[in-house]
Structure 1
Amino acid sequence: MSNHKSMPKDKGLDHTLSVLREGYEFILNRSNKYDSNIFETKVLGEKTICLTGKEAAELFYDNAKFMRSGAAPKHVQKTLFGENGVQALDGEEHQHRKAMFMALMTSDALNEIAELTKKHLEAFAAQWETQEKIIVYEEAKKILTHVACEWTGVPLEDEEVDERTNQLADMFESAASIGPEYWKGRRSRNAGEEWMEELIQKVRDGEMNPPSHRALKQFSNHRDLNGELLDKQIVAVELLNLLRPIVAISVYMSFTVLAMIEYPDQVLSLKSGNETDRQNFIQEVRRYYPFFPFAGARVKEDFTWEGYKFEEGTLTLLDLYGTNHHPDLWDDPKKFNPARFESWQGSPFDFIPQGGGEFDFGHRCAGEWLTLDVLKETLSYFVTGLTFEVPEQDLSYRMSEMPSLPKSGVQLSNLVRQKNG
């Protein structure tokens, strides 16, 4: 007689359309419906286990139980992640490739990313003063394309800023799309990889010599576990795995400014320049607003957890958004409250806007520290470096859209730089 518990199960043949319809709230809705942090459904015709919550995250990031290889649908690989990148690796190969990314995250490098963000914000703000209004999201993408290219050592000419910005943005804007938008994302992914491969070849041939600490140089010369140079296409994917996520911070930049607009009472304390208050505000932006809906993995071999059976090869999704809004983890999770982070203990499993687990040997996003530095600099600049007005607009955002963004892109008018900013 089996001691396995019966897992709550979605009725119906397939729920892919429900994922597209409900977006970030797909897992959260069913977790509430079944009053369970685990349930079974079908996505893209495949049995799928969905998890949410801190204990589920601890399970999901156990590398002995789950593997990332084969978890991301081809649809997503061909737009968002690229093929054969670090997200799809496991074991020693993953650790070796992840170390290539982590080597970039030095304190000096993170300080530089903050300085580059400030530099390009100031340069763009000089232009904003001459314009009737700006759309924060569109400006943020261009600012971060400049930041990403300069930080990684990728050359960027003025005349190609719009083209490269659009290519990098298409990769994350189209990941959950179908039809023309999806094919637009695929074309941009292909063009982006061609762009990177050309640069990599020039570095390897000695035609370009970027500084040794830049990612373009380090990744081009990186060797695998067998001591061989990585295939040029894989290096291109990994360089885009730096550039694309940095540009994707534009989503958070837009929500940061939106939070300033929606919660002006929370902004008053930020003007004093208190670093802790600004950090808490940014963390609450990352917890409260949608960014990435869920992460995927496959069961490495059969095991049982809390009475539930997990079979080898089963696709498993961890609810990132839902865990950040889980009532067992967060008091009044639907309320925007930066003060909640004053007592947060820093667990790698209850606050997972960009994934969970450990940085060095797990699958937590290597760019999370970088994200914080970019956003703190952005918040500081918009709080003390600018004055602006907020014209009438539609600031609503839909949870069914991935990525979700304010419909207006957050429009500001009458921007003026402050001398003491």
Structure 2
Amino acid sequence: MTDSTLSLLAQGYGWLPERRRRAGGGPVRTRLLGRPAVALGGPGAVGFFYDERHVRRQAALPGPVLDTLFGRGAVHTLDGTPHRVRKGMFVRLLMDEARVRDLVARVDTLWSRELARVPGRPIAVFDTAGQVLARAVCAWAGLPLSQRAVRRTARDCVAMVDGFATPGPRHWRARRARRRQEKQFARLVRGARAAPPADGHAAPTVLETVARHRDAEGRLLDPHTAAVELLNVVRPTVAIAWFAAFAAHALHAWPAEAARLRADGADGPDGPDGTGRTDRARAFAQEVRRYYPFAPFAAGRAAADLEWQGEHIPEGTLVLLDLYGQDHDPRTWHDPERFDPERFAGRPPDPDTLVPQGGGDPTTGHRCPGEDITIAVLTVLVARLAAQEYAVPDHQDLSIPLRRVPTRPRSGVVITPVTPAA
């Protein structure tokens, strides 16, 4: 069987959905990086893929992805009890409602300040969002970093995400960025361990929690692994910049939707819970996550000899779940190529249907436990953007190349505020 690695690199997000279309929506056999692989999608595929009896993560992710995006020894590479113990730490940190509200409030304050700067000053949404998100999450996590170090961390986190799925200069920048940040975060971990424990009445910071976390055998994580996991809090938060740029693109591409958001937030973007989560802004954010390309697929390894839709999958085979295709599958979504926030009006999406960042149970499985943060942060970014009067200069490239992984609007979406934000 011909290896498809070069085809994947050449076709990007379209590679797997096209292969599945040619196969009538059924499983697709291929090879990636010399390894036999089977790609799944469609109804039932998410539940099958995220069942640990079927698919495991250990030894599934290729070295180039670990050395750029996730880090060696990350929670993404664990299964069974070690995974559940490590995952529990992330669930406590990232799914706690008070912590989520605190982070969202920090982002809201910093984002509003950026939009309120001198009218007529161009703002690149992607770059500005990345810096805002880094400043917010580093302060929220209790990282004692200078402003200069936070700016460097923001650029490095963007580089890690931008270069994980490509050969060449972007990939090597990503590797250098990860090495630099792992060294910095390991120093922070050692410093946190050397400091006396926090006051018993104060909740430990993210840094303190990760630094003092013990694995399934009761041992502290080594400083490198702790740094990797600390980065796995900071980096995904900065990566919301991709969704911010997509949201700005959608507000420009569908002005009627932007007008509805402005009307909905005429008295301010805050919802009844005070966190900036109006129903319409949240529905818009969810449709941005569904419509625009983020992760192309998830990967694991067959835990045993399996069968899916009549297709035999030998133990050890690389198993792919088509995330981008799943979010555009006409068997699940009516008119999937139409941008329509009404899909999510007044109702949460089925977690096994909307899978831009993966699927499964976020508390025990491999679904990202920071998904609630992504939705809440993106909702407030959308609400504030919609409330801002701005122009979108014509002399920029707003195209989104599907061959590039990860992709984004080429210009990063440059806007020029006309008046300061309310």
TM-score by length of 1: 0.93
AA of the residue aligned to 1:361: T
User: Please, which of 104, 123, 143 is the counterpart of residue 114 of structure 1?
Assistant: 104
- Report deviation, 1:183: 1.3
User: Please, which of 332, 337, 348 is the counterpart of residue 335 of structure 2?
Assistant: 332
Name the % identity. Answer: 35
Contact 1:175 1:182 in 2 (8 A): yes
- Report deviation, 1:343: 7.5
Task: Give runs of aligned pairs for residues 11-410 of structure 1, distance below 5 A.
Answer: 13-104=2-93, 105-127=95-117, 129=118, 132-206=121-195, 212-271=203-262, 272-273=264-265, 275-342=278-345, 346-384=349-387, 386-392=388-394, 393-410=396-413
- Report deviation, 1:226: 1.6
Summarize deviations over 1:228-251 as a string: whole Å, max 9, x none. Answer: 111111110000001100000000
- Report deviation, 1:310: 1.3
Task: Give the Cα separation in 1 of the matches to 2:236 and 2:419.
Answer: 29
- Report deviation, 1:177: 1.9
Q: Which position in structure 2 is the counterpart of 1:5?
A: none
Segment of structure 1 superposing worse, 370-379 or 118-127 = 118-127
Q: Which position in structure 1 is the counterpart of 2:268?
A: none
Contact 1:325 1:333 in 2 (8 A): yes
AA of the residue aligned to 2:90: F
Contact 2:115 2:417 in 1 (8 A): no
Compute the RMSD of aligned alpha carbons: 1.7
AA of the residue aligned to 1:66: V
- Report deviation, 1:58: 1.2
Contact 2:25 2:42 in 1 (8 A): no
- Report deviation, 1:130: 5.8
AA of the residue aligned to 1:41: T
- Report deviation, 1:415: 4.2
SS of corresponding position for 2:400? coil
- Report deviation, 1:294: 0.6
SS of corresponding position for 1:295? strand
Contact 1:282 1:376 in 2 (8 A): yes
Contact 2:38 2:318 in 1 (8 A): yes
- Report deviation, 1:345: 6.3
Contact 1:136 1:254 in 2 (8 A): yes
Contact 2:27 2:309 in 1 (8 A): no
Task: Give the Cα separation in 1 of the matches to 2:335 and 2:225.
Answer: 44
Give 5+ residue unaligned stretches, structure 2: 266-270, 272-277
Summarize deviations over 1:281-300 as a string: whole Å, max 9, x none. Answer: 11100000011111000000
Contact 1:278 1:376 in 2 (8 A): yes
Task: Give the Cα separation in 1 of the matches to 2:418 and 2:405.
Answer: 30
Task: Give the Cα separation in 2 of the matches to 1:195 and 1:302.
Answer: 43
Equivalent residue pairs, number = 406
Contact 1:295 1:318 in 2 (8 A): yes
Summarize deviations over 1:141-167 as a string: whole Å, max 9, x none. Answer: 101110110121112312233322111
TM-score by length of 2: 0.93
